[in-house]
Amino acid sequence: MMTPKILVLSGSDRSGSFNKRLARAAAKTLALIEPDVTMIALADYPLPLLGQDGQRDKGLPDKAVKLAGMIAAHDALFVASPEYNASIPPVLKNALDWVSLVSSDGRAGVRPFEGLTVALASASGEKQGGHRVLDHLRTVFVRLGALVVSETCLVPDAANGFDEDDMPSDEIRAADLNAACRALVEHCTPGRAR
């Protein structure tokens, strides 16, 4: 049986981000379930704002094509995202929008989201834990052709939500993270991208 290839990313490019910590916790948890886990940072794929005058006329940015290829090369995606004004942070939404426009990497056709299995999580300094962003992300990923698992992980009061190893310090949150990671592995289709 093929080993699923799982990609992990944070929807924040801010240093010290709670969601970067949550993404690292997810990568550690997933590595215990399946060994083929890759973690990337959106900061490594800087993209212009989609919709700026003349930007689309210049063609797709190389970083959008590379990010699309990275997503397409994996069977599943774990996203840990902050919540901005009850929705998706601009850097993540802009990246998803650019990647959705990529249909080729110059060598072959690319369908980054079609058949991709996605798990969602959010860490927030607020008591609600960023649950509203998960609904918005689910809508976007489903529209793009991905399967989003129902298990999620929320880490509210995130300043106190992690231990020194960047794992959720609360047993319930740790169990939620484990459940989301297991659901991601169980529902993905190994070899989707190969």
pLDDT digits (tens, 9 = 90+) for 156-191: 999 999 999 999 999 999 999 999 999 999 999 888
pLDDT of residue 44: 95
Tokens coding 184: 């991601």
Confidence of residue 122 (pLDDT cuts 50, 70, 90): very high
Mean pLDDT of 48-52: 84
**CB 50 within 8 Å of CB 19:** no
pLDDT of residue 54: 54
pLDDT of residue 108: 64
Crossing angle of helices 90-100 and 62-72, in 10° steps, is: 80
Sheet holding 6-10, edge to edge: 37-41, 6-10, 76-80, 117-123, 147-155
**CB 33 within 8 Å of CB 180:** no
Tokens coding 41: 């940072």
Mean pLDDT of 90-107: 89
Tell me which DSSP letter residue 57 carries: G
Confidence of residue 194 (pLDDT cuts 50, 70, 90): low
Our CA dihedral for 164, 173, 119, 46, rounded to 10 degrees, sits at: -40
Confidence of residue 56 (pLDDT cuts 50, 70, 90): low
pLDDT at 147 over 60: yes
pLDDT of residue 2: 84
φ, ψ of residue 27 to 5 degrees: the values are -60, -40
| Domain 6-187: assigned CATH number | 3.40.50.360
pLDDT at 55 over 90: no
pLDDT tens for 66-95 read: 999 999 999 999 999 999 999 999 999 999
Confidence of residue 148 (pLDDT cuts 50, 70, 90): very high
Q: In terms of pLDDT, which residue wins out, 150 or 34?
A: 150
pLDDT of residue 34: 80
